[in-house]
Structures are given as C-alpha cells and as structure tokens.
Amino acid sequence: MILEGVVTSVDPSGRINVAPMGPIVEPDMQRLILRPFRTSRTYQNLKQHPQGVFHVTDDVLLLACGAIGRVEPLPDLFPASVVQGQVLAGACRWYEFVVESLDDASERTRIEARVVHTGRLRDFFGFNRAKHAVLEAAILATRLHLIPRDEVLREFERLQIPVEKTAGPDERQAFELLREYVEANAPRGT
C-alpha cells in the first residue's frame, strides 16, 4: 500500500529538504520503499546521505507547499533520535529510516529503507473531503511533466467542488497555491 506523507532529508551541507512522498509500506511500518524521481532533491540527498525521516501528517498545507517546492520558512523541526536528520514538530507520527539499497537505473529510483526508530507526537486529526482533494491536487502538481495540462486543469475543476464544500482556511490556501502553480508552470499545448 502507498501511504502519503512527508520525508525530511539532509544535503551534504546540512540543509533540510521537506518533500511529500508516498512510500510503499506494510502495516507494520518496518520497511519503506521510496520512489523519488532522479531529478528530486530527496533522491540526491538520500543518495549522498542515506538516512531520513518519513512523517505521517494531516497538514495538507505543508504537503501542498512541499509538492511545489515552497516550504519557506521551514516548519518547526527537532533532531531525530537515531539518524542524522530532522523531525517535523507538527507531524502525527514519524519513522526514522536508513537506506539499505538504492536502484537508480530508471527515472523513478527505488530506495529500500529500514525503519530504525519511530515516534508519536499527536493523534491524527483525520481527513475530510477537502483534505483528500488537496492531496490529489498536490500529486497532480508534481506530474506536470507527465500529464497533459488540460487534463490536470480539468481534474482541478473537479477537485474544487469538495474544497468549496468542506475546506477550512488551510485547505483553501493550499488548493489555491496549487492551482496558481499549475496555471503558471504547466506546459502549454500538452
């Protein structure tokens, strides 16, 4: 199963990268299979520093900002317990991991990781329809190089309905950021 969340990774100079990612997981959460594109900072960081932290969160504004590379300023963080990395202070749960294998022979890298420490900060608030819509919109925003612009914009029109009906301020802001990003960055004529 794919579990959507956020990965923090560290580059060689110590800078933190915050990126949404949906690793393949089993219910026991002992292993993660991450599949970042080779062009992503997460891939570059994990290749050079094979440790990171996967977070389960209900913060769709953070997911949206991470999807479009606009996580500034960084959210509150604290040092991980076992790996050299950072934990999102607003996450529900976190899973510190070490990379055991990395296969970058194709565009989507396959990174197999073992969870070495877990922690819990708070209960998962849950998702309403707007949170789900923002999550889907964030995934679409990261696929502009794969999905035709008109198709992405049609999906955004469909996703707008649950946002209008059920969103709070963070979901509305997240959806609008994603819409603006797609309109400004989707290649025309595709």
Give the Cα-Cα-Cα angle 78, 18, 137 (nearest 5 degrees).
135
Q: Look up the domain containing 74 and give its range.
A: 5-120
27 falls within a domain: yes
What are 117's two structure tokens?
């420490």
Same domain, 137 and 74: no
Give the whole-angstrom CA distance, residue 149 versus residue 142.
Answer: 12
Residue 34 has, within 13 A of its CA and on its CB side, a CA count of 37
The domain spanning residue 21 has which CATH number?
Answer: 2.30.110.10
Give the whole-angstrom CA distance, residue 76 versus residue 91.
Answer: 10
Q: How confident is the model at residue 11 (pLDDT cuts 50, 70, 90)?
A: very high
Same domain, 16 and 86: yes
The domain boundary, picked from 71, 93, 120, lies at 120
36 falls within a domain: yes
The domain spanning residue 166 has which CATH number?
Answer: 1.20.58.290
Look at the pTM and tell me if it is higher than 0.95.
Answer: no
Same domain, 25 and 90: yes
Same domain, 97 and 40: yes
Same domain, 37 and 95: yes
Is residue 109 within 8 Å of residue 39, measured between CB atoms? no
- Sort strands 31-34 and 93-103 into parallel, antiparallel or unpaired: unpaired
- Per-residue pLDDT of 121-145, as tens digits, reads 999 987 799 999 999 999 999 999 8
From 156, 146, 161, 147, select the one nearest 183 (Cα to Cα): 156
Same domain, 82 and 136: no
- Per-residue pLDDT of 57-107, as tens digits, reads 999 999 999 999 999 999 999 999 999 999 999 999 999 999 999 999 988
The domain boundary, picked from 78, 102, 120, lies at 120
Q: How confident is the model at residue 189 (pLDDT cuts 50, 70, 90)?
A: low
How many domains does the chain contain in total? 2
Same domain, 45 and 65: yes
Same domain, 52 and 141: no
Mean pLDDT of the chain: 94
Same domain, 148 and 54: no
CA 104 from centre of chain: 20
Same domain, 83 and 37: yes
Q: How confident is the model at residue 181 (pLDDT cuts 50, 70, 90)?
A: very high
- Residue 163 has a pLDDT of 96
The domain boundary, picked from 94, 120, 146, lies at 120
* Dihedral over Cα of 87, 89, 33, 10: its sign: negative
